[in-house]
Structure 1
Amino acid sequence: MAANSLSISQEDQHSAKSNSTQLNVQIVQEKVYSFLQEIVKKLQPDDVLREFKDLFLEGLDLDNSNYIPGIYSIFLDDNEEEFRNTLKRSCYIIVNNWGSSRNNKYIEELVNLFGNENLRINTNSSPVIKICKSWLENFVNSKDYKDLKLFAAKYDASYKVHWANRYSSYLLVDQSINENNSQEQQEAYRNLSAQIKDKFKFELAMYIARSQSGNSSTTRYNNPSILGDDVLRLIKAIVLKRGVFSHENIANIFLKQTENQTLEQFKKSIEKYLFFSVENQELFNNLRQQFAENLSLWKPDYNQEIITKEWILRICNRIIDSLTIEGKEPSPLFILLLGQGHSLILVIILLKIILISRNSRRHLEIRIAHLIRYYEKYPEEECKWVINFIEIFNITFAIYAENVEYNLIKIKEEESTNPRLNLDGYHVFSQMKVDRKK
């Protein structure tokens, strides 16, 4: 081992088997965490990987040996759960630091360490080595390891095969608020989710610019969505509603007009706001009725309370649930809207919710993650309507809810003055939003 390697002393091993087993396990765990936090900042990634292998994998390929690797000796008293917690947090201490310093390829190497065939149980393994290897195999076959692989997904082509993995940014947001995950793990999830979103925003902006430039197609950026070239027309349709009647202005007007309303009044107002300007109102009468009935049954005992920011957050989160997934099942309104091919209308309604309650954004993304988890057991061919919804959601929120501003610029005159009929006569341009508060 290197000079600054961590060794699990005989004293540590003896202490862990004393009457204060749990306390002493915690002491050893903290030693491991402190050691990794120190070396990941000081050593080269290759050296960090070597130290990690020394801690968790060294000696496990010696099948006939009765040697107990130091870290395992602390947990062998039937404490697999604590071992896994230690291993998992150790991984995320490294992942979180490497993610911040963009050492992403080494994250893939860390994840792949557990795929070594020498770590598999075989008939020649001694009893103690079998136990150690079984713990590692259980970890590799667990959801914990599946979540860890999200951090190597951009390099591991085989992991991208399943359609749900295209939307890992939402799965990461969901994990970032899981209280069972360590602080390092939650932070790593938040950071990677933000990186994936930033990458999508950049690629979308560059694709739009290049696809309208008239240059050779070989110079075009890849389309970050899977909607094909039709995505440009969709983007124009989404961006079209600007100016006085933009979604942002309507949201601001709504918030001013509903100040000091009671909860009962606000329920009626928000129904009108969300369905305002929806085309073919007759088609949506049944939907609006179901929505209104659902909302009226929520917190009826508080109907005379004056609305506050906290109430707006709570009611918006409740509406998000009713439009996406309630409990473990997709909501009836979600199935009704998407089943009739109204993905864009649902996305715009969700956007209008976020424009009056920005703090509901995380709640919405978590519900999107739950929808993905619900449908991921089905093949892509059966989930095209859900995938189409998520793709439109990604694009719409990149346009309206991020720090990039999109505008339509007229490039040629046409006979029709209705831009809805004349989207080909417009180009989309993007620019960074200016924070006017500064």
Structure 2
Amino acid sequence: MMIRDALDDAHQNETPIRLNRLNRNIQQAQETVYNFLLEIVKKWPPEEVLLEFKRLFIYHVESISADAMQAIYDIVFSNNEEEFRNTLKRCCYILVNNWDATRNYKPIQDLVVVFTDPSINRNTASPTLKRLRHWLDEFVKSSDYEELKLFVSRYEEKERGPWVSRYTSYLLVPQYIDLKNPIEQREAARALSKQLKDRFKFDLAMYIARSQSNAPSKRIPKNPTALGEEVLRLIKAIVAKRGPFSYANLANIFVNQTQNLPYSKFKQSIQQYLIFSVENQEFVETLRAKLTEKLDTLYESHDDEIVTSALTLRTCNRVIDYLTTENQTEPSQLFVLLLSQGNPITLVVALLKIILICKHSRTHLEARIAELIRYYQNYPEDECAWVVNFLEVFTVTFAIHAENVQYNLIKMKVDEVQLSPNIFDPDKYRIFSQLKREIKTDLLPLLLNPEADVIDSETNGTGEALLE
């Protein structure tokens, strides 16, 4: 019995040792492939890098690097599809990051097209190649490939593509907050999201400046929103909330007044803060009733504790969930209820108020917006027009309250007799935007002088250099 026990123990110990050895071998193989691609992407022309990528992953033949070819074989032979997928993703984003850093965007488009190669679906007698092609086919069908395709959205004509392409900056957010993604993917997603947001802010500022000038209509830049001329009235209404009752000032008052409050009182205060100065009483009653129901039991074990920044962050994130999507799959009941009660600006302002008291919730909010977009993405735009309208108002509102652009209203007409001094008439005001330090100064003359020539897209190319 003692000999048998010893043999059993030896066999049991052998399995984890073998697994550890296999994992080390896979990691070494992965590093071999990563290092090879990092070396050639910095030295070779993009078309040659793409050809080598196809030789490794698509054709699995005639690579210039025998070590990299063997490494791919070892990964496939290990029969671990998850590790192969991780390897493939990281390799893709190594190329994306390096080409993006040098503003070489065409190869990124070509990389996405690589996975439409018909050879992926061809039959083969080779077991290794058969497994490789099956895994590639599964990758193409996966959300991972959809995420990769987001990186070419900047080159698509938005009016020709699906309506969700207008919101790529939000769809990228889940990629860069997911710690399971390769660091290269997260960095690429964060960088592109910022570029797209900056591009939108710049295009919006240019459109505002031009559309209010006497420039010929053909010289007015394209409206970057789907709101038409109503975007000007929307912006005026948002910017009009200045002075002591501005959203930023109200947020500062709230933060100061809730310091050192017990958490139970803080939860009551945040409800009052969100509905303060809201004129739509139906919205107020719905929001108050539903939030009270949710917040009363939220983190109630902390009710008697003094509210902390960590507790504030968690609470703001939960309120965002209540107002958007609670299960990260479908819209929350409150989201649908509030939008069904009229103008989306009321809900958007509630979300803005949350971010103004807790800026660290911004990424969480954008991730939830991405999940809402994913839920509705298969609907035709006309069937979910109310959601698209919300997204447009949301995008414009948060662009107006960006850290690097300041919008102001200037009254262009002085009334001789002001019959209704408390009524805001947007037609009597013009919007002026001013750039802050975050955006490079080569944009300043264009925004501060609305009568300057519009940038000619034929001579400016994609215009990416303006924002980076």
Within a 5 Å distance, the mapping from 1:34-113 to structure 2 comes to: 34-58=35-59, 70=70, 72-74=72-74, 75-113=76-114
Deviation of the 1:283 alpha carbon: 5.5
Distance, in Å, in 2 between the alignment partners of 1:197 and 1:160 is 20
Q: Match for residue 338 of structure 1?
A: 339
SS of 1:428's equivalent? strand
One-letter code of the match for 2:105? N
Q: 1:270 to 1:116 in 2, by over 3 A?
A: same
Aligned-residue CA RMSD in angstroms? 2.5
Post-superposition offset of 1:217: 1.2
Paired letter, 1:84: R
Counterpart of 2:100, as a letter, is G
* Worse-superposed segment, 69-78 or 299-308: 69-78
Query: Aligned with 2:409: secondary structure?
Result: strand
Quote the residue 1:6 is aligned against.
none
Alignment partners' CA distance in 1, 2:187 and 2:423: 43
How far apart are 1:332 and its partner, in Å?
A: 1.8
Q: Secondary structure at the match of 1:154?
A: helix
1:220-231 matches, within 5 Å, as 220-231=220-231
| Mapped contact 2:263–2:302 kept (Cα < 8 A) | yes
Q: Name the structure 2 match of 1:426.
A: 429
Specify the SS of the correspondent of 1:405: strand
Q: Does 1:199 align with 2:202?
A: no
Residues 99-122 of structure 1 deviation map (CA, whole Å, 9 limit, x = unaligned): 222211210011112222233314
Which residue number in structure 1 is paired with residue 368 of structure 2? 367
Structure-2 separation of matches of 1:308 and 1:160:
48
Please report the TM-score for the alignment, with normalisation by the length of structure 2: 0.82
Higher mean alpha-carbon deviation, 189-198 vs 157-166, is at 157-166
Pair 227,282 (structure 1): closer, same or farther in 2 beyond 3 Å: closer
Structure-2 residue corresponding to 1:168:
168
Q: Structure 1 length as normaliser, TM-score?
A: 0.88
Q: Are the equivalent residues in 2 in contact too, given 1:203–1:224 (CA < 8 A)?
A: yes
Q: Any conservation in 2 of the 1:207–1:222 contact (CA below 8 Å)?
A: yes
Equivalent residue letter for 1:249:
N
**Count of residue pairs the alignment pairs up:** 412
Which one-letter code corresponds to 1:209 in the other structure? Answer: A
Cα gap change, 1:18 to 1:334, in 2 (>3 Å): closer
* C-alpha distance after superposition, 1:316-373 (max 9, x if no partner): 1111111111013322211111111231000001101111101010111111111112
The amino acid across from 1:43 in the alignment is W
Rounded Cα–Cα distance in structure 1 between residues aligned with 2:351 and 2:119: 50
Residue pair 1:153, 1:159 contacting (<8 A) in 2 also? no
- Checking the alignment, whether the CA contact within 8 Å between 2:29 and 2:72 is kept in structure 1 is no
Cα 1:125/1:397, change in 2 over 3 Å: same
Aligned amino acid, residue 316 of structure 1: C
Residue 158 of structure 1: how far off its partner (Å): 9.4
CA distance in 1, matches of 2:20, 2:281: 71
Q: Note closer, same or farther for the CA distance 1:389–1:104 as it changes in structure 2 (3 Å cut).
A: same
Distance change (3 Å), C-alpha of 1:98 and 1:355: same
Q: Is the 8 A contact 2:330 2:371 kept in 1?
A: no
Q: Secondary structure at the match of 1:115?
A: coil
> Is the 1:56–1:71 Cα contact (8 Å) retained in structure 2?
no
1:187 maps onto 2:187 in alignment: yes
Q: Gapped runs of 5+ residues in structure 2?
A: 1-17, 63-67, 439-468
Where does structure 1 lack aligned partners over 5 or more consecutive residues? 1-16, 62-67
Residue in 1 aligned with 2:132? 132
Matches of 2:55 and 2:315, distance apart in 1? 52
Shift of 1:26: 1.3
Contact 2:55 2:61 (8 Å CA) reproduced: no
Deviation at 1:182, TM superposition (A): 0.8
